């Protein structure tokens, strides 16, 4: 089955790194490393083929200062998230 995630980030410079499972939770991994980024909203859309339906989908954003994990809302078959 395919899982599609649409994430709006608060700054540019975001790279998609892949996904992983944590039990029944599917985590999409992104990173923003470096010192200077354009301060505009940046949207990324990723679609992955996975073997089962996730109970929940999370987005993980790694930065040089650490990182954060945030949830998604499923709308019309697409998991959507906005960077807090």
Per-residue pLDDT of the chain (84 residues; tens, 9 = 90+): 999 999 999 988 899 999 999 999 999 999 998 776 667 889 999 999 999 999 999 999 999 889 999 999 999 999 999 999
- d(C-alpha 54, C-alpha 72), whole Å: 12
pTM, rounded to two decimals: 0.92
State the pLDDT at residue 75: 96
Region label for 27, one of left (φ > 0), alpha (ψ between -120 and 50) or beta (otherwise)? beta
- Pick from 1, 51, 56: nearest CA to 24: 56
């Amino acid at each position: 089955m395919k899982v599609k995630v649409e994430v709006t980030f608060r700054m540019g410079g975001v790279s998609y790194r892949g996904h992983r499972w944590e039990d029944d939770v599917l985590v999409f991994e992104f990173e923003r490393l470096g010192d200077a980024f354009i301060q505009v909203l940046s949207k990324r859309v990723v679609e992955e083929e996975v073997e089962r339906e996730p109970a929940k989908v999370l987005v993980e954003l790694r930065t040089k200062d650490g990182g954060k994990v945030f949830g998604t809302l499923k709308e019309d078959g697409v998991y959507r998230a906005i960077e807090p």
